[in-house]
Amino acid sequence: MMTTSFQPHQEFENSLLQRITHSDRYKMHQEAFRTATGLPLRLVSADPDGWCLDDQKVNRSPFCESLNLIEGTCDACVETNRRLMNEAEVNGPTTCHCFAGLCATAIPIKMGATVIGYLKTGQVFSQIPTEAQFKKLLGAIGHKTLAKTVRDQLKTAYMQTRFVKPLRYQSMVTLLQSFAEQLSEHAESLAIIEEGSEPSAIAKARKYIHANLDQPLPLGLVASQAGLSESHFCRLFKDFAGLTLTDYVNRCRIDWAKRELLKHETRISEIAFLIGYQSLSQFNRSFARIVGLSPTLYRRERLERAAS
């Protein structure tokens, strides 16, 4: 299994997401949504490469499970989820269909300008599954290589998969949008609660940074939000965040810039000022230093990949 290396600001966001996942508020809303709609609900990382099938049986689709046992289909499923989350990161709540015809929806959870995770639901058809559609799916995945028992199991799961009319499904997504807004507010509250070895002063500083990335963040202002002197704050922040304040802020802003660069109609100069840089040249230097590519080249590569 591939191991992902996270930067300190990403570790903070992932830790915060885990705390939300285990919070009573999330569990209560998750159960209420499942009971009211019959749909699964997951809270997943903002890392699109980290997607996998949920270990909770209530969030699993028998058809998806059967499909993912077939060689090659798992990669297609992961790619669909990667595309879904990339689009939701840029455009907000997004719904798409996988190659097998299932709906999937992702709604971002934010702390300030930072996307820390997504609510995900779906695994349903938008029309009643038919024999003809199943035969078409078999052709797409190479039915001649499948054993009859596998085909029969797949067909049973396919035909039993629930369908939800598009208008009703959109109403369910609207409910999730309201829940996502509440979780975003909950994230801001959790961010300032001391947990583990990180002092609450540093957590307060991180919360302030993530909520105000588009504003100037001088040392004196952030230190005062933490309730510390500048010198004490510098030492403490570096010890627990693993970066200087300037490096931490730059990396948070560059992560934001990556999302904005996927909007091909937005000029790079507009993005630079939107995310808090005072000049285009300063943004270009920071982006190239952290990402290893210029913003222009990064945008070109990502858009070409999305189109392929």
Cβ neighbours of 244 (radius 10 Å)? 13
Alpha carbon 130 to its chain centroid, in Å, reads 33
Q: Are residues 90 and 256 in contact, defined by beta-carbon separation less than 8 angstroms? A: no
Residue range 195-307 in CATH 1.10.10.60 = yes
The residue ranges of the chain whose pLDDT is under 50 are: 1-5, 50, 194
Q: What is the pLDDT of residue 276?
A: 92
Distance CA 271, CA 252 (A): 14
Across the strands, what pairs with 122?
A: 104
The pTM of the full predicted model, rounded to 2 decimals, is 0.67
Contacts of 195 (CB under 8 A, 6+ apart): 15, 19, 203
Model pLDDT for residues 60-83, shown as the tens digit of each residue: 788 887 777 776 666 777 778 878
Q: What is the pLDDT of residue 258?
A: 86
- Main-chain dihedrals φ then ψ at residue 108, nearest 5 degrees: -70, 145
Q: Looking up tokens 């996927």, which residue turns up?
A: 262
Domain ranges of the chain: 8-190, 195-307
Model pLDDT for residues 183-213, shown as the tens digit of each residue: 887 876 676 554 555 688 888 898 899 889 9
Pairing of strands 94-97, 114-125: unpaired
Across the strands, what pairs with 124?
A: 103
